[in-house]
């Protein structure tokens, strides 16, 4: 993967981005579909290093795994909903 692709992924998925897993096909012990997680980083292989809400840490591989960004939480009066 070229450096500009890494930079693009890092810009699209900065640390703290919330994602929802759709499918992790081909993994012998996948994260369950629908699981939410937080992007920790994009590594030098172009994988999204994840902290899943179920406590697991399995990375996402863009173009292989199916996932979507979760809508950011709305704020009211400085409080997160």
pLDDT tens per residue, range 15-60? 999 999 999 988 899 999 999 999 999 999 999 999 999 999 999 9
Q: Is the pLDDT of residue 77 over 80?
A: no
What's the Cα-to-Cα distance from 44 to each of 3, 41, 54, rounded to whole Å?
9, 10, 25
Q: Is the pLDDT of residue 74 over 90?
A: no
Written as six digits, the tokens of 15 are 């640390």
pLDDT tens per residue, range 45-56? 999 999 999 999
Report how far residue 50's alpha carbon sits from residue 75's, in angstroms, rounded to the nearest whole number.
24
DSSP letter, residue 74: P
Total residue length of the chain: 81
Report how far residue 55's alpha carbon sits from residue 40's, in angstroms, rounded to the nearest whole number.
13
Confidence at residue 25, expressed as pLDDT on a 0 to 100 scale: 84
Which three-class secondary structure state does DSSP give residue 5? Answer: helix
Which residue ranges form the domains of the chain, and what is each CATH number?
3-70 (2.30.30.30)
Q: Is the pLDDT of residue 72 over 80?
A: no
């Amino acid at each position: 993967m070229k450096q500009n692709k890494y930079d693009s992924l890092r810009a699209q998925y900065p640390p703290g981005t919330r994602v929802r897993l759709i499918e992790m096909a081909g993994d012998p012990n996948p994260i369950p579909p629908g699981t939410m997680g937080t992007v920790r980083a994009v590594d030098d292989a172009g994988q999204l290093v994840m902290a899943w809400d179920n406590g697991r840490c399995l990375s996402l591989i863009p173009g292989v795994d199916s996932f979507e960004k979760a809508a950011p939480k709305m704020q009211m009066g400085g409080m997160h909903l």
